[in-house]
């Protein structure tokens, strides 16, 4: 069975640091939790710049505090589903449960 590619999630550094202390990451997207949305939004490497621009805009203020979590889907217990998002129907990876910090194989500075 081929290895699934890593999936990416952009977030604020403080949210990642808090997750490291708890042992799990549970933020779905900017300002929304896993409990509120039901899944955690992820993207592919190709999708990441557009997702970052959508969530954080072109304003560079505060973007020094953004990081990209690189997650190995094989290390997740929760299901990963690629689902179409409106308006264009592009498929994005969603994780339907918390992300254990040991599933994060790299943390990259954004910007």
**Burial (0-12, 13-18, 19+ Cβ within 10 Å), 90:** middle
Say which residue, 5 or 59, is predicted with more confidence: 5
pLDDT tens per residue, range 13-59? 999 999 999 999 999 998 899 999 999 999 999 999 999 998 888 65
What is the pTM for the complete model shown?
0.91
Q: Cα–Cα distance between 2 and 88 in angstroms, integer?
A: 28
pLDDT tens per residue, range 59-85? 555 556 899 999 999 999 999 999 998
- For residue 100, the Cα-to-chain-centroid distance in whole angstroms is 12
Phi, then psi, of 16 in degrees rounded to 5: -65, -45
Phi, then psi, of 23 in degrees rounded to 5: 95, -10
Give 23's contacts (C-beta < 8 A, 6+ positions apart): 100, 101
- In the chain, where the domains are located: 7-109
Fold category of 7-109 in CATH:
ADP-ribosylation fold (3.20.170)
3-state helix, strand, coil in the chain (%, to 5): 30, 40, 35
């Amino acid at each position: 069975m081929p290895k699934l590619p890593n999936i990416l999630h952009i977030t604020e550094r403080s949210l990642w640091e808090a997750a490291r202390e708890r042992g799990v990451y549970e933020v779905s997207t900017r300002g929304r939790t896993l409990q509120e949305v039901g899944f955690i939004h992820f993207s592919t490497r190709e999708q990441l710049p557009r997702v970052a621009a959508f969530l954080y805009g072109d304003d560079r203020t505060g973007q020094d505090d953004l990081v990209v979590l690189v997650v190995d889907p094989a290390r997740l217990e929760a299901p990963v589903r690629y689902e179409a998002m409106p308006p264009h129907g592009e498929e994005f990876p969603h994780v339907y449960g918390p992300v254990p910090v040991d599933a994060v194989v790299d943390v990259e500075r954004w910007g």
